[in-house]
Amino acid sequence: MSLGYVLLGLLERGPRHGYDLKRSYDDQFGYGRSLHYGQVYATLARLLRNGLVEVESEPGDGPDRKRYAITGAGVTDVQRWLAQPEQPEAYLQSKLYIKIVLALLTGRDAADLLDVQRSAHLEQMRTLTNRKFAGDLADQLVCDHALFHLEADLRWLELTAARLDQLRAQVREGTR
């Protein structure tokens, strides 16, 4: 996800200050990972440089406050981005798989690693399920997305546990 596209999309609703954009982002998409103001203003500076936003100054007694507005080129950019499908992630370079192979290579118990990981996944699923039932529709959808990924991970953990002896043999032989 590119923060620039998100900010441009938020600006399509009308000119906004940087702190308003941050607050809107955090409200709509933050989910425990709010933006830093530095990210917002650095991204706005890049968008300004690229001609995708423009600055509207507000008259007043205090310091200059900048409101950012999307340009026609910015609207076109957001439209193009929204029309492109996201690349499905294949997860072929999984940290978890690497840890399991390294555990086997170094003579550690990979089954214990799988058990610990399973427990961590189940705990995260409990947390997300509680959040889902306590939240609004946006929370429910975001939590469902994460829960489906965690369920797939759990299936993979079970499959890997069932094939651990085979993997151990391949790792010892140095074959894949």
Copy the structure tokens of residue 111: 């089954």
The model carries a pTM of 0.70
- Expressed as residue numbers, the domain containing 30 is 3-83
Per-residue pLDDT tens listing for the chain (176 residues): 589 999 999 999 999 999 999 999 998 888 778 899 999 999 999 999 999 999 987 666 556 678 999 999 999 999 999 999 888 777 766 888 989 999 998 888 999 999 999 999 999 999 999 999 998 998 899 999 999 999 999 999 999 999 999 999 998 887 66
Total domain count for the chain?
2
Give the span between the Cα atoms of 68 and 47, in whole angstroms: 10
Report the 10 Å Cβ neighbour count for 95: 8
Q: Assess if residue 89 is contained within a domain.
A: no
With beta carbons less than 8 A apart as the criterion, state whether 104 and 31 touch.
Answer: no
Kindly state the helix (H) or strand (E) to which residue 104 belongs, with its residue range: helix 95-105
Residues 32 and 103 in one domain: no
